[in-house]
Structure 1
Amino acid sequence: MRVTTLPIALAAGLLLTGVIAAAPRAAKPTAADQLLLSPDAKVGDETFGDLTALWWQWADRMPIPPYLDPDGRLCGYDQGGDVWFLAGTDGTFNANRTCVVPAKRHILVPIINMRYSDTRQHNGKTLALPCKVLQEGAAVNNDRLGSAIVMIDGTPVSDVSRYRIRSNGCFPLVAGDKDSPSTASDGYWLLIKPLPLGRHTLTIGANYAADETGYGRMVQNFEYVLHVGGRTDEL
């Protein structure tokens, strides 16, 4: 029996002279906090956890992984429904992206996140490991968040750590494919309410501190300029 482990992590971060520093927790909610849905929120019939699974299925079916997007040119691909998906990076570069987002869309974006799909081959058949095992694998790095910073229009989110979201159990990585590996998702996410029309900035920084206990330290950096409701030259 051969075990094939396929841990894949996506993260995003703001690189500050090589060091990620945690933003201080604000005594009162900030303007950025007011733009976020809570971890127990739903959009339509989809829970926050459901949406993270849909995000991974979206990322997997893209012809080019959205976390490799250099400048936002892929941000409109295969988008639909009430929630617009944004991506981090694969950890090998810092991204500055521009994206036009339709009005009245929620926005789902990872702060730092991971999925775990682990399959075994036996007599030519693929057997998925129990969901609990996959969930434990996806949790390893997320149990060891180093720090995180999120800025929306220059204002910090006061407590990023409260936005840890796990998928609701496990899900097929390829939607509707019974032979697709069972997958668990875990990480830190933002679910942003529909933004006012115009230009907005979203800057995210985070790192894992897993070392030998997980899948290594990960530091990633990205920023989006979002044009909500159509492109604008507003600065």
Structure 2
Amino acid sequence: MRITRTGLAAAAMALAGTFGITLPHAAHGTQTEADAMLLPPDAAVDGESFGALTARWWQWAERMPIAPFRDPDGRLCELGQEGGVWFLAGTDGTFNAQRECVIPADRHILVPVINMRRSDVRDRRAAHATPKSCEALQASAAVNNERLGSAVVLIDGVRVSDVTRYRIRSDGCFPLIPEMDDDYAKTAADGYWLLLKPLPPGRHTVTVGANYAADDDGFGRMVQNFEYVLHVGGKSQMASAPAGMDGLLVAEGR
């Protein structure tokens, strides 16, 4: 079995990380303008459930010639994008990413906050190769997500009030490589995701910071940070960054 990490979170462009300024938390139950930009966890786009979209995200990331979570600056943003949902990527946990890209108007946007997958990749020539059950893969993928340290997401500088509401599990298991048969690289995914409604044309920012507070094969203490500057509907004139958005906020659990 192989475990990977990707797109698993990211962090906000805010003075907090560099100068110790604390972002205010939204009061419990208080909705923000950022919340209004999101679809609920039971949403579907073009007949695909939220869970099915996250599975397709993993398949997209696996088949790219260069892993999208290694993108340093947005140069890979357009690779493999198709359909009504545009995929963003996180990082592999080794760097803080600041990316800029142009996306078409009228696309929903899927954002990985922090997440895991477990895949059953077996050498079928080995006599001892025992397939893992979907239930076992689901349980393994859930471990770190049950120990979320923190998660901060800002959309155009406005904080999402409760990221934990958006824990999404794949609809059962799925083939990581669709061209292969269903049992090859059978995969379960679990994590925190946001599904944005189509954004108005113009310049927008999505900033993410999150970490696990668990111990699991080296991934349980993962901390990742990334920001996207999105030019929806075409390249727009660069504007000054929103106040408090010029340093990376690193999310840390205690």
TM-score (norm: length of structure 2): 0.85
- Counterpart of 1:173 in structure 2 is 176
> Is 1:150 matched up with 2:147?
no
Per the alignment, do residues 219 and 22 of structure 1 end up closer, same or farther by CA in structure 2, a change over 3 Å counting? farther
Per the alignment, do residues 121 and 197 of structure 1 end up closer, same or farther by CA in structure 2, a change over 3 Å counting? same
In the alignment, the residues of structure 1 paired with residue 229 and residue 10 of structure 2 have an alpha-carbon distance, to the nearest angstrom, of: 15
The count of aligned residue pairs is 230
After TM superposition, give the deviation of residue 9 of structure 1 in Å. Answer: 1.7
> Is 1:220 matched up with 2:224?
yes
- Counterpart of 2:50 in structure 1 is 48
> Is 1:164 matched up with 2:167?
yes
Instruction: For 1:197, give the aligned amino acid.
Output: P
Q: Structure 1, unaligned stretches of length 5 or more?
A: none
Instruction: For 2:197, give the aligned amino acid.
Output: K
Instruction: For 2:5, give the aligned amino acid.
Output: A
Per the alignment, do residues 200 and 210 of structure 1 end up closer, same or farther by CA in structure 2, a change over 3 Å counting? same
**138-147 or 207-216: which moved more?**
207-216
Identity over the aligned pairs, expressed in percent? 61
Equivalent of 2:5 in 5, 9, 12: 9
Structure 1 residue runs of 4 or more that deviate by more than 6 Å after TM superposition: none
Q: Is the 8 A contact 1:111 1:190 kept in 2?
A: yes
Instruction: For 1:164, give the aligned amino acid.
Output: R
- Counterpart of 1:140 in structure 2 is 143
After TM superposition, give the deviation of residue 145 of structure 1 in Å. Answer: 0.3
> Is 1:209 matched up with 2:213?
yes
After TM superposition, give the deviation of residue 44 of structure 1 in Å. Answer: 1.1
**25-34 or 144-153: which moved more?**
25-34
Q: Is the 8 A contact 1:140 1:214 kept in 2?
A: no
1:177-227: CA deviation from partner (whole Å, max 9, x where unpaired): 105310000000010000000000000000000125873300000000000
Per the alignment, do residues 212 and 130 of structure 1 end up closer, same or farther by CA in structure 2, a change over 3 Å counting? closer
- Counterpart of 1:83 in structure 2 is 85
In the alignment, the residues of structure 2 paired with residue 9 and residue 18 of structure 1 have an alpha-carbon distance, to the nearest angstrom, of: 29
1:80-116: CA deviation from partner (whole Å, max 9, x where unpaired): 1000000000000000000111000000010001110
After TM superposition, give the deviation of residue 59 of structure 1 in Å. Answer: 0.2
In the alignment, the residues of structure 2 paired with residue 48 and residue 229 of structure 1 have an alpha-carbon distance, to the nearest angstrom, of: 24
Per the alignment, do residues 23 and 118 of structure 1 end up closer, same or farther by CA in structure 2, a change over 3 Å counting? farther
- Counterpart of 1:34 in structure 2 is 36
**74-83 or 212-221: which moved more?**
212-221
Pairwise CA RMSD: 2.1
- Counterpart of 1:196 in structure 2 is 200
In the alignment, the residues of structure 2 paired with residue 132 and residue 64 of structure 1 have an alpha-carbon distance, to the nearest angstrom, of: 30
After TM superposition, give the deviation of residue 6 of structure 1 in Å. Answer: 1.1
**119-128 or 38-47: which moved more?**
119-128
1:37-67: CA deviation from partner (whole Å, max 9, x where unpaired): 0000000110000000000000000000000
In the alignment, the residues of structure 1 paired with residue 173 and residue 95 of structure 2 have an alpha-carbon distance, to the nearest angstrom, of: 30
Q: Structure 2, unaligned stretches of length 5 or more?
A: 240-254
In the alignment, the residues of structure 2 paired with residue 225 and residue 22 of structure 1 have an alpha-carbon distance, to the nearest angstrom, of: 20
After TM superposition, give the deviation of residue 118 of structure 1 in Å. Answer: 2.7
Larger % of strand: which?
1
In the alignment, the residues of structure 2 paired with residue 122 and residue 78 of structure 1 have an alpha-carbon distance, to the nearest angstrom, of: 30
